């Protein structure tokens, strides 16, 4: 998490506590690798937070410096404003941009992915990426509803989690998904 918006916008005061430079992030990763290597049930993963929080160069640099087996977590197309801002910045929707500029495959988790076009649903599902669904968060924030039926029609992989302090209950998340 380095920026407050697409194109490397400076973070606002509320975001400053989350800010990480690429160098610091890679240093943290290097320090965690030997610790996690000693814990067979744990694995190092990568997190870019979102396209608005990092630059394309940061994505490239972190992927190049990291173990290619690491899972990759990114929030994407979570809100309509995010889609609009990405279109203004790049001329592409967030998922479309990511699929065109990053090696998205089965190790990627596209968190929320709430606002995708039909083409994005098809391409993202075909990539093998997992849709990381957080129905309680998406409901509590009013971000919209992930089109689970469309995703499954494309054979998309999915997982359930929570991205909120309001609830951390897998059964409730699945109930909200069904609803």
CB atoms within 10 A of CB 141: 16
Closest CA to 71 of 28, 108, 110: 108
Q: What 3-state DSSP class applies to 132?
A: strand
Give the active site residue among 3, 85, 115, 163: 163
Long-range contacts, 36-41 (Cβ 8 Å, 24+): none
| Residues whose CB is less than 8 angstroms from the CB of residue 97 and which lie 6 or more positions away in sequence, other chains included | 51, 86, 90
Closest CA to 74 of 90, 91, 57, 98: 98
> With left for phi above 0 and alpha for psi between -120 and 50, is residue 37 left, alpha or beta?
alpha
Give me the residues paired with residue 75 across strands: 50, 111
> With left for phi above 0 and alpha for psi between -120 and 50, is residue 150 left, alpha or beta?
alpha
Give the active site residue among 3, 75, 85, 112: 112
Q: Is 154 a catalytic residue?
A: no
Q: Is 105 a catalytic residue?
A: no
Active site residues: 112, 163
């Amino acid at each position: 998490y380095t920026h407050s918006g697409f194109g490397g916008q400076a973070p606002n005061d509320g975001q400053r506590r989350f800010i990480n430079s690429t160098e610091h992030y890679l240093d943290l990763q290097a320090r965690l690798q030997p610790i996690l290597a000693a814990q067979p049930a744990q694995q190092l993963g990568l997190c870019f937070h979102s396209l608005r929080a990092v630059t394309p160069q940061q994505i490239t640099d972190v992927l190049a410096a990291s173990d290619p087996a690491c899972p990759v977590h990114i929030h994407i197309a979570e809100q309509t404003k995010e889609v609009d801002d990405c279109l203004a910045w790049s001329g592409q929707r967030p998922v479309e941009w990511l699929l065109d500029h990053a090696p998205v495959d089965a190790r990627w988790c596209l968190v929320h992915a709430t606002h995708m076009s039909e083409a994005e649903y098809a391409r993202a599902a075909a990539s093998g990426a997992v849709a990381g669904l957080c129905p309680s968060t998406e409901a509590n924030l009013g971000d919209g509803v992930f089109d689970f039926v469309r995703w499954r029609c494309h054979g998309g992989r999915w997982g359930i989690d929570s991205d909120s302090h309001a609830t951390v209950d897998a059964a409730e998340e699945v109930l909200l998904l069904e609803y």
